[in-house]
Amino acid sequence: MTAEPGHVVSGHGLHFWECPHPGPLPKGEGEESRNPCPHQGYPAVERRENLAPREFFAEYVAKNRPVLLPGLLRDCPALSRWNFDHLRAVSGQRGVKLKQGLTDDGVAGLTSVDARLGDYLDALENQTEHSSPGERLPYLHDVPLTSILPEAATDLAALAAEYFPPWYRERRWQFAQFFLGPRHSLTPLHFDCLLTHNLFFQVMGRKRFILLPYAQLACCYRYRWRWCAVDAEQPDFARHPLYRQAQPQACIVEAGDALYMPPGMLHHVRSLDTAMSFNVDWHTPDSALRGVLAAGQGMPLKNVYYNALIALGLWSGISAARVLPWYRAYLNYVS
Ligand SMILES: O=C(O)CCC(=O)C(=O)O
């Protein structure tokens, strides 16, 4: 079995993901590169072209299986329209909070940097290649999509609403969170803090995801409810011996692709290019209920409250329009 690096290849009935960087990532300005990619041959996340919404729910959502959906955004104007010039024109004067300090060593050193979006876009365009976290530009990470792109719904209208549960459909993009950052940006290993389903969309550049099921959380040295101390790219087995038992999967999400992750799925996300993405975290009635019951497993009470709001909507029929004003504070606080 042979393959070009960075491709999914099949052999012996299995699909494997080949590391896109057979050696270290290219070095920036004389620094040591941080991310040699030793894991040739993590099994690849399943990939389904043109997966219909009904099968998506029956085979993946209902069965808690992740799936890569190549080209799901292909008919959406967002894919070509959402470039730096468009962002400048629409929201360049907006103030944004950027995150600095998302590193392989975790989120303990996370700080927030205030900037004007236009200045941040200029900096991204003019950046020198830096792979070391201390010198890398900060990350516009997990902010409400419509705060940056108020017309998102129009630019995404070509994507069938049926990929979302009925309760969310009319206002689905108001639940979406936006990400924009330089090459090498990292979101360390974690699960989504409300234990929601996550449909993640890539608009520009590529990201590499390393995924582990929630059941393997015990191998990953959790801290602060949802973060994990293990570096999924370069695990230190002396510090984290239990991680030897972990069974990660990986995939590269390219512009136009979507990735579905079930509740609690652990994910480590590395930008391979300057990258723009957004996700929608959503519940089904069952996952919302489990999200409320997670109070008994240490979920922060604030998160339980937000899960209770969504559970109320999903189980009572109170509309998303009426719940959103109460839930919106969550979208601004996710970290
Ligand atoms: O794109 C990223 O850097 C992080 C994405 C993520 O963690 C998520 O969608 O939950």
CA–centroid distance, residue 279 to ligand 1 (Å) = 8
CA–centroid distance, residue 187 to ligand 1 (Å) = 6
Q: For residue 179, which atom of ligand 1 is closest to its CA?
A: 1
Residue 79 pLDDT exceeds 60:
yes
Percent of the chain at pLDDT > 90 equals 79
CA–centroid distance, residue 27 to ligand 1 (Å) = 24
pLDDT for position 25: 33
- β-bridge partners, 161: none
Beta strands in 27-66 (DSSP E): 42-43
Could you report the per-residue pLDDT of 232-268, keeping only the tens digit for each? 999 999 999 999 999 999 999 999 999 999 999 999 9
First-to-last alpha carbon distance for the chain, in angstroms, is 41
Query: Class for domain 47-333, per CATH?
Result: mainly beta
Residue 335 pLDDT exceeds 90:
no
> How do the domains of the chain map onto residue ranges?
47-333
**Ligand 1, pocket-test mutation among 191, 198, 228, 265, most atoms within 8 A of CB:** 198
**Closest residue by Cα to residue 266 from 204, 207, 205, 218:** 218
More confident: 321 or 135: 321
Q: For residue 102, which atom of ligand 1 is closest to its CA?
A: 3
How do 14-17 and 95-100 pair as beta strands? unpaired
pLDDT for position 12: 33
Residue 24 pLDDT exceeds 50:
no
Residues with Cβ within 6 A of ligand 1?
Answer: 179, 187, 192, 198, 200, 207, 267, 269, 277, 279
CA distance 60 to 255: 22
CA distance 93 to 281: 28
Which two tokens mark 190? 């974690």
CA–centroid distance, residue 121 to ligand 1 (Å) = 20
Could you report the per-residue pLDDT of 186-223, keeping only the tens digit for each? 999 999 999 999 999 999 999 999 999 999 999 999 99
Per-residue CA distances from 148 to 80, 84, 115 (Å) = 16, 12, 13
Q: For residue 139, which atom of ligand 1 is closest to its CA?
A: 3
Could you report the per-residue pLDDT of 134-192, keeping only the tens digit for each? 788 999 999 999 999 999 999 999 999 999 999 999 999 999 999 999 999 999 999 99
Residue 22 pLDDT exceeds 70:
no
Q: For residue 279, which atom of ligand 1 is closest to its CA?
A: 9
CA–centroid distance, residue 269 to ligand 1 (Å) = 6
Sheet holding 14-17, edge to edge: 8-11, 14-17, 42-43
Q: Residue holding tokens 């104007």? A: 77
Judged by DSSP in three states, 111 sits in strand
Which two tokens mark 199? 């449909």
pLDDT for position 256: 98
Could you report the per-residue pLDDT of 269-312, keeping only the tens digit for each? 999 999 999 999 999 999 999 999 999 999 999 999 999 999 99
Residue 6 pLDDT exceeds 80:
no
Candidate from 1-15, 35-49, 116-130, 160-174 with smallest mean pLDDT: 1-15
Which two tokens mark 80? 């070509």
Q: For residue 187, which atom of ligand 1 is closest to its CA?
A: 3
pLDDT for position 107: 87
Residue 17 pLDDT exceeds 80:
no
Which two tokens mark 194? 């409300």
CA–centroid distance, residue 153 to ligand 1 (Å) = 21
